[in-house]
Structure 1
Amino acid sequence: MPQHDRIRRMTSAREYKPPSAVEKTFNRIFGYMAGLGLAPSFIYLLEVKGRKSGKTYSTAVNLLEANGKKFLVAPRGHTQWVKNAEASGEVTLKRGARRKFGLRPLADTEKPEVLKLYLTHYRSAVQRFFPVEPNATLEAFAQIAADYPAFELIPA
């Protein structure tokens, strides 16, 4: 199937798929390890306040560092952590120590290069959430950009 057909099919039918029980377990383990500073260097425990409850929620995330900037990408799309982060405008990343960041949501026009880098770096963990391969053109990433929230982290 040509790549553009695959993109069209996946983006038109894209819906949030919650993590399986196995994925939840791995996320908890990696989140716990990241919080202690023991996970791979790119995995952090993201903490964000709930937009309705005010309760702090946490999840493991892969931090992308490129061109001297830090980025978060939501490979599963508009998840609860994304909605909470958008509402609060800030997150805390924990990797041993906690560090608070403000968020600058990326415009869809800014996302293709970031999405391509993210998929290239973390392919084994996130390829199943993307309808394109890491070697796809920036134009292909532009076609899917709206489905993938991405943020530049601004030190608080």
Structure 2
Amino acid sequence: MIDMNAPSGSVPTAGPERYLRPDWFARHVLNPLVAGLTRLGLSVWGSRILAVRGRTTGQWRTTPVNVLSVAGGDRYLVAPRGQTHWVRNLRAAGTGELRLGRRAWTFTATEVSDADKPALLRAYLTRWRLEVGMFFGGVGPDAPDDELRRIAGDHPVFHIEFFH
């Protein structure tokens, strides 16, 4: 889904900060459609609206995201397009909300190190390859761990824990 100066203590990424800007169709058709359905309470393939405070304005910013759930109940946010604005905002805020319809869940976020990403990227690609596979440079869910480690720095991942 669509949607950049990490504060000290964040996990550094390898190489230049990669960001794949959404095209016109994604910005004006696909994301508004998914966001609209999610705001109505209809989850599209596990979609939620991510709400996070802007790092410079403090205003709430929203974007549709896919929440990855793994065995054991842990949940993650993966940035297929790289160092997006929501990634930079979440790094600065450390917390946000996931919304579906009128419900909202507040969470804290911890960025995952590149070394710990291969299994998560594999799970994410297994679930949403058709939707986001083009952003992973030809690396798919069946790629060896070395390939997933190679692209790990291009795709920020956050472990999220909900407030109780």
**Aligned mates of 1:14, 1:94 — CA distance in 2:** 28
Task: Kindly provide the amino acid, as one letter, of the partner of residue 44 in structure 1.
Answer: R
Q: Does 1:140 align with 2:147?
A: yes
CA RMSD of aligned residues (A): 1.6
Deviation at 1:39, TM superposition (A): 2.8
SS in structure 2 opposite 1:63?
strand
**Aligned mates of 1:48, 1:138 — CA distance in 2:** 31
Aligned residues: 146
Give per-residue Cα distances to partners, 1:48-85, cap 9 Å, x unaligned: 11000011111110111002111100000010000000
Q: Does 1:84 align with 2:89?
A: yes
Task: Kindly provide the amino acid, as one letter, of the partner of residue 146 in structure 1.
Answer: G
Q: Which residue of 2 aligns with 1:59?
A: 63
State the TM-score, normalizing by the size of structure 2: 0.84
State the TM-score, normalizing by the size of structure 1: 0.88
Q: Does 1:129 align with 2:123?
A: no
Where does structure 1 lack aligned partners over 5 or more consecutive residues? 1-10
Larger fraction in helix: 1
Structure 1 segments of 4 or more deviating over 6 A? 11-14
Task: Kindly provide the amino acid, as one letter, of the partner of residue 20 in structure 2.
Answer: K
Q: Which residue of 2 aligns with 1:117?
A: 123
CA contact (8 A) 1:93 1:100 kept: yes
Q: Does 1:151 align with 2:158?
A: yes
Where does structure 2 lack aligned partners over 5 or more consecutive residues? 1-13
Identity of aligned residues (%): 34
Deviation at 1:40, TM superposition (A): 2.1
